[in-house]
Amino acid sequence: MSAASHRVSRLEPYLSRSEPAPTLLKMLVGVQLAGIREEAGLSQEQAARAAGFSAAKLSRIEAGKGRRPPAEADVRALLELYGADGHEASVLVALLQRAGEPGWWQRYDKRLMPEWFDRLVGLQEAAEAIRTFEIQYVPGLLQTRAYARAVVERGLPTASAAEAERRVELRMRRRELLLRPDAPRLWAIVDESVLLRVLGGAEVMREQLEHLVETARLPHVTVQIVPLDVTNASAPAIPVTYLRFGGLDLPDIVYLEHIRSAHFLEDREETEEYRVVLDRLADEALDPRASMALLRRTLKERYATR
């Protein structure tokens, strides 16, 4: 089987996905274009010059970045330049067309979904595995409605009640990811202080911790707690989300969230550093069974019904 035929055999199943996955499809198109370019013996700079693109534009296309997919005419021009196999070219164009179908999250107001957040949600929807570390809040994919509302009200105290509710609805919709038949594996490491920081009152916290215990029973969900008495834990100072995709040459991506922006790392050396940090944290945290015991003990000692 030729390299082109092998790539096509792995790409064709994505054409029949029931749900649009624009972020994943843009990345797939980009990485395949980069591979065909390299097989044609062209550097990114040479290809951009020959196609009449800026190097930055070709870099964005190959990285699958941007709210919208690249123009079909641009992709066809690149495929022709590279002398791509006809069948492979037709599959890539079909994937590109599917990438133009909006994901459910892209139907929300852009005020709720800036480009960086659009990309995060799309990456989570496409991921095979999600690893996350949280030092302040319960991870978003594990939040209850009442807890999510408390987080939104704390983070955006001037937001209207209607805006706050839309944000909560968006978070609840994101949570459905874990209930899909093809749900990604979620491995969440949470600092113990998150369990003690009261948001929304004791009843909200009780419901949230009960939800954590219940969700951790799912076979694809792992929750570990870093206890307060682990004083030398190698925890980063900000939340970290590490995303891994299927075996289609897609890079691992690290998402670092700031107050009103975010940073995505895709360089292999940088993402590897964060993978090692998360591995160390998992070693330093309580194992999943002991973590559940701590959650239940915290429920009983701090949030039990009076």
**Half-sphere exposure at residue 178, Cβ-oriented, CA atoms within 13 angstroms:** 24
Q: For residue 18, what pLDDT is reported? A: 66
SS3 263: strand
Q: Which residue has the higher pLDDT, 22 or 213?
A: 213
CB atoms within 10 A of CB 2: 9
135 and 267 part of one domain? yes
Residue 42 CA to chain centroid, in angstroms? 31
Task: Give CA–CA dist 124/108, Å, rounded.
Answer: 17
Question: The tokens of 222 are what?
Answer: 């792992």
Residue 17 CB partners (closer than 8 Å, separation 6+): 98
203: Cβ contacts below 8 Å, ≥ 6 apart = 146, 303
Q: Is residue 95 located within the same domain as residue 178?
A: no
Is 78 part of any domain? yes
* pLDDT for residue 4: 64
**Domain shared by 267 and 133, yes or no:** yes
Mark whether 94 and 168 lie in a shared domain: no
Q: Is residue 295 part of a domain?
A: yes
Helix (H, G, I), strand (E, B) or coil at 221: strand
Same domain as 83, residue 226? no
What pairs with residue 132 in β-bridges? Answer: 188, 241
pLDDT of residue 179: 93
Q: Which domain-ending residue is among 50, 73, 100? A: 100
pLDDT score for 22: 86
What burial class does residue 284 get, using C-beta atoms within 10 Å of its C-beta: 0-12 exposed, 13-18 middle, 19+ buried? middle
Q: Report which of residues 112 and 5 the model is more confident about.
A: 112
Residues 208 and 94 in one domain: no
Same domain for 205 and 75, yes or no, is no
Give the pLDDT confidence score for residue 249 in this predicted structure.
76
Mean pLDDT estimate for the chain: 90
Please check whether residues 44 and 175 belong to one and the same domain. no
- Domain membership of residue 191 as a residue range: 115-303
In a domain, 105, yes or no: no
Q: Could you tell me the pLDDT band of residue 253, with boundaries at 50, 70 and 90?
A: very high
Does residue 109 lie within any of the structural domains? no
pLDDT at 20: 65
Identify the residue with better confidence: 250 or 214. Answer: 214
Neighbour-count burial of 185, counting CB atoms closer than 10 A to its CB (0-12 exposed, 13-18 middle, 19+ buried) = middle
Percent of the chain with pLDDT over 90: 64
Contact status, residue 243 vs residue 249, Cβ threshold 8 Å: no
Partners of 254 in beta bridges: 242, 265
- 93-120 mean pLDDT: 86
CATH of the domain at 26: 1.10.260.40
Q: At what angle do helices 145-155 and 202-215 cross, to 10 degrees?
A: 120
Which of the two residues, 109 and 244, has the higher pLDDT score?
244
Residue 37 sits in the same domain as residue 122: no
The pLDDT assigned to 221 comes to 98
More confident residue, 221 or 116: 221
Q: What tokens does 16 get?
A: 């029949």
For the domain that residue 270 is a member of, what is the CATH number? Answer: 3.30.870
Per-residue pLDDT at 211 exceeds 70:
yes
265 lies in some domain? yes
Q: Is 1's pLDDT higher than 60? A: no
Residue 3: predicted pLDDT: 65
| 161 belongs to a structural domain | yes
What is the mean pLDDT of the segment spanning 252-270? 87
pLDDT tens readout for residues 35-70: 999 999 999 999 999 999 999 999 999 988 877 899
Closest by CA position to 248, among listed 88, 10, 1: 10
Tell me, yes or no, whether 110 lies in a domain: no
**pLDDT of amino acid 258:** 77
- Of 50, 70, 100, the one marking the end of a domain is 100
Q: How confident is the model at residue 132 (pLDDT cuts 50, 70, 90)?
A: very high
Structure tokens at 247: 């075996």
Q: Which residue has the tokens 């941007």?
A: 66
Last residue of a domain, one of 100, 134, 161: 100
pLDDT for 133-173, tens place per residue? 999 999 999 999 999 999 999 988 898 999 999 999 999 99
Please spell the DSSP secondary structure of 59-81, one letter per residue. Answer: HHHHHT-SSSPPPHHHHHHHHHH
Q: What is the pLDDT of residue 139?
A: 96
Q: What is the mean pLDDT of residues 288-295?
A: 97
Task: Work out how many domains the chain is built from and give that number.
Answer: 2
280 and 249 inside one domain: yes
Under the banding of pLDDT at 50, 70 and 90, the label for residue 236 is: confident
Q: Is 264 domain-assigned?
A: yes
- Look at residue 72 and tell me whether its pLDDT is greater than 80: yes
What does the chain come to in residues? 306
Is residue 12 over pLDDT 90? no
**pLDDT > 70: percent of the chain:** 94
pLDDT at 2: 63
Shared domain for 153 and 65, answered yes or no, is no
- 62 and 169 together in one domain: no
